[in-house]
Amino acid sequence: MPVSDSPRFDFHCHSRASDGDLTPAELVARALERGVEYLALTDHDTLAGLAEARAAAADRLTLVPGIELSVRWQTRELHLVGLAFDPDHAGLQALVAAQQDARVLRARSMGRRLDKVAGLANTYERVVARSGQDAPGRPWFAALLVDEGRARDMQHAFNRFLRPGQSAFVATPWVLLEDGIRVIREAGGVAVLAHPLRYGMTRRKLRQLLTDFAAAGGQALEVLTPGVTEPQRQLLDECLRDFGLLASGGSDFHSPRQKWLDLGQVPPPAPAMTPVWRAFAPPWQMA
């Protein structure tokens, strides 16, 4: 079989600036070891890791600006990846600041709830200390719950306390899907719906979402991910075609402890797909 002539890319991963285990510099070093040529660091609702990642990348790989925004659509929380935008864009920076404010309030509220329902003390302060940030996401709370013996593992901590419907889940006024898309595009970037199969939606619901996503200016769907089964691949192909979307992809790497996936573990786009980088504006144009 011929070796794919697709560039080696990974447009979805996390550092310690959100809920990853590696610093931005360590993440870039790992990407280089694994032959990644184009990397987007997509931390949750923050641009804080980009400068360190860019410095570590220097001219050894192309660090494409990225972010994973938490957004609201109907009654759900979804994830919107933005790629190849201008990180200095004022409107985008204002949105990120608002998302961070919402994250701080949410984290404090989760802390108060866990103080009560998990019988812990000063949960928020302890999670701030272990994460080194004032707006820690749920995985940091899950890790504390595991260490304190309130959950067997991260998954159990989510199921028992942190996922929607559980006692420490805090509904949060994230930016609306359409506003997130608009701001990413105003900043010159490309709006990608992250991991479409991870929302537990029926095919019908997913198509409803993609109708709204495309109407709001959403351009790409994250279909190039590890572990997609054949029926899932067919559904994703159908979605790309029916909604005229570009194909993006990434590992969603968070930690070397995730033994089943690694940075850069991203299948190349199939010949029938249009890769997301076709929509990248200068200076982020790729082959």
Q: Report the residue number, 44 or 61, with the smaller CB distance to ligand AMP.
A: 44
**Please, which of residues 158-177 interact with ligand AMP by CB under 6 A?**
158
Angle of CA points 206, 212, 217, to nearest 5°? 120
> Judged by CB under 6 A, does residue 180 bind ligand AMP?
no
Q: Is 125 exposed, middle or buried (0-12, 13-18, 19+ CB in 10 A)?
A: exposed
Q: Report the residue number, 58 or 75, with the smaller CB distance to ligand AMP.
A: 75
Which positions ≥6 away from 231 have C-beta within 8 Å?
A: none
> Judged by CB under 5 A, does residue 19 bind Mn ion?
yes
Out of 154, 201, 216, 228, the only residue in the binding site for ligand AMP (CB under 6 A) is 154
**Please, which of residues 81-140 interact with ligand AMP by CB under 6 A?**
137-139
**Please, which of residues 234-253 interact with Mn ion by CB under 5 A?**
252
* Both tokens assigned to 109: 């509220």
**Please, which of residues 251-280 interact with ligand AMP by CB under 6 A?**
254
**Residue 220, contacted partner among Mn ion, ligand AMP, none, CB below 5-8 A by kind:** none
**Please, which of residues 73-102 interact with Mn ion by CB under 5 A?**
79
> Judged by CB under 5 A, does residue 103 bind Mn ion?
no
**224: which strand partners?**
249
Q: Can you tell me whether residue 78 is helix, strand or coil?
A: strand
Q: How far is the CB of 90 from Mn ion (least distance, A)?
A: 25
Please check whether residue 224 is in contact with residue 249, taking contact to mean a CB–CB distance below 8 angstroms. yes
* Both tokens assigned to 255: 């930690």
Out of 4, 155, 234, 255, the only residue in the binding site for ligand AMP (CB under 6 A) is 155
Angle of CA points 70, 72, 77, to nearest 5°? 65
Q: Report the residue number, 30 or 138, with the smaller CB distance to ligand AMP.
A: 138
**Residue 123, contacted partner among ligand AMP, Mn ion, none, CB below 5-8 A by kind:** none
Q: Report the residue number, 81 or 235, with the smaller CB distance to ligand AMP.
A: 81
Give the range of 23-31, 126-134, 153-161, 229-237 binding ligand AMP by CB under 6 A.
153-161
> Judged by CB under 6 A, does residue 19 bind ligand AMP?
yes
Q: Report the residue number, 20 or 269, with the smaller CB distance to Mn ion.
A: 20
> Judged by CB under 5 A, does residue 222 bind Mn ion?
no
Distance CA 188, CA 211 (A): 22
**251: which strand partners?**
none
CA atoms within 13 A on the CB side of 100: 15
CA dihedral 179, 181, 184, 186 (to 10 degrees): -70
Q: Can you tell me whether residue 210 is helix, strand or coil?
A: helix
Q: Which amino acid is at 220?
A: A
Residues forming the site for Mn ion (CB under 5 A): 19, 68, 79, 194, 252
**Using CB under 6 A as the criterion, which residues of the chain lie in contact with ligand AMP when the complex forms?**
19, 44, 70, 137-139, 154-155, 158, 254
